[in-house]
Amino acid sequence: MDFEMVMQELEALGKERLKKMYISNGAREPLFGVATGEMKPIFKKTKINQPLAEQLYATGNYDAMYFAGIIADPNAMTEADYDRWMDAAYFYMLSDYVVAVTLAEADIAQQVADKWIASGEELRMSAGWSCYCWLLGNRPDGEFSEDKLAGMLDRVERTIHDAPERAKYAMNNFIYTVAVSYVPLHDKAVETAKAVGPVEVRGKTKSKSKLIHAFDNIQKAVDKGQIGFKRKHVRC
C-alpha cells in the first residue's frame, strides 16, 4: 500500500461523531475521525513501514499521524527523529499516545524520555512521563534502575502541583503505574500518592477544573489484584 491508498482508506473510515470528539480534545483540521481499532486492517496491508510512517506523520492530519505511530519502526528512529515528531505533536493525544508510545518500543526510550522530562515544555514533559508509564507497564522490572525510579517519584512529589497541566496528568499516572507495574517500589509509590494528595487540573474553563488522585486508582487496582500487571504489547 502506498501513501495515497492509506489516506483514501483512512478518509473512508472517518466518522463525524469521532471527528467532533477528537476536536473537543484538542485535535484540529485536517482530520477524518477514524476509530483507532478500525486501523488494524490497514496495518495488515502496510506492516511496519518507516518511510510510509514519515510520509503520513508529515501530513499534519491527526488520523494519519496516529496511524504513522502504528506502522513506525521505533528502532529505526534516532533521537533527532523523535524530537522532530514531538515538534509536530501539537496536543496530548499525539504526544502521549503516538510519540511516547512509539518511543516506548525503542532502545533509546529512557534517555529520550529523561531529556523531555527535564525540558520544562508541557507536551515534552507529558510525553516523557507517559513514555515511562508505557515502559513500566510492558518491560520486565529488571530493565529499570530502582534508585532512578525512586528519585523520579521524589521529583513528582516535589513538583507535580506546579507542573504544566498535561504534565500533571502524566506525572499522576506515573505514580499509579509504578505502584501497579513496578513491584519493588509499590510501597514507595503508595506513600508518594498519599503525600501528593489530590492534584487540581484545569478543564477548558477555570470553573471546570477537577481533582485527580493517584491513591484512589492505586487502591482500586489493589482491590482487583492487578499489582504486577504487565501488558504484552505497547502498540495496538
Domain hosting 210: range is 109-236
Tens digit of each residue's pLDDT (9 = 90 or more) over 84-106: 999 999 999 999 999 999 999 99
Residue 107 contacts residue 135 (beta carbons within 8 Å): no
Query: Which amino acid, residue 47?
Result: K
Please indicate, yes or no, if residue 146 is contained in any of the structural domains.
yes
Phi/psi at 113 (5° precision): -60, -40
Q: How far apart are CA 126 and CA 121, in angstroms?
A: 8
Please indicate, yes or no, if residue 124 is contained in any of the structural domains.
yes
Cβ count near 193 (within 10 Å): 24
**Any idea which residue has 509504578 for its cell?**
178
Q: Is the dihedral of CA 42, 105, 69, 34 positive or negative?
A: positive
Q: How many domains does the chain have?
A: 1
Please indicate, yes or no, if residue 101 is contained in any of the structural domains.
no
Q: Place 206 in a pLDDT band, splitting at 50, 70 and 90.
A: low
Q: Is 179 exposed, middle or buried (0-12, 13-18, 19+ CB in 10 A)?
A: buried
How far, CA to CA in Å, does 97 sit from each of 40, 86, 170?
A: 16, 12, 11
Tens digit of each residue's pLDDT (9 = 90 or more) over 146-178: 999 999 999 999 999 999 999 999 999 999 999
Per-residue pLDDT, averaged over 37-44, amounts to: 96
- The greatest distance separating any two alpha carbons of the chain, rounded to the nearest whole angstrom, comes to 52
Show the cell assigned to 177: 503505574
Please indicate, yes or no, if residue 176 is contained in any of the structural domains.
yes
Q: Is 221 exposed, middle or buried (0-12, 13-18, 19+ CB in 10 A)?
A: middle
Q: How far apart are CA 178 and CA 125, in angstroms?
A: 17
Peptide bond into 30 cis (omega under 30): yes
What end-to-end distance do the CA atoms of the chain give, in Å? 19
pLDDT at 233: 86
> Residue 205: is its pLDDT beyond 60?
no
Per-residue pLDDT, averaged over 125-143, amounts to: 97
pLDDT at 4: 98
pLDDT at 7: 98
Q: Place 220 in a pLDDT band, splitting at 50, 70 and 90.
A: very high
> Residue 109: is its pLDDT beyond 90?
yes
Q: Strand pairing partners for 210?
A: 201
Please indicate, yes or no, if residue 35 is contained in any of the structural domains.
no
Show the cell assigned to 124: 515534552
Q: How far apart are CA 101 and CA 89, in angstroms?
A: 13
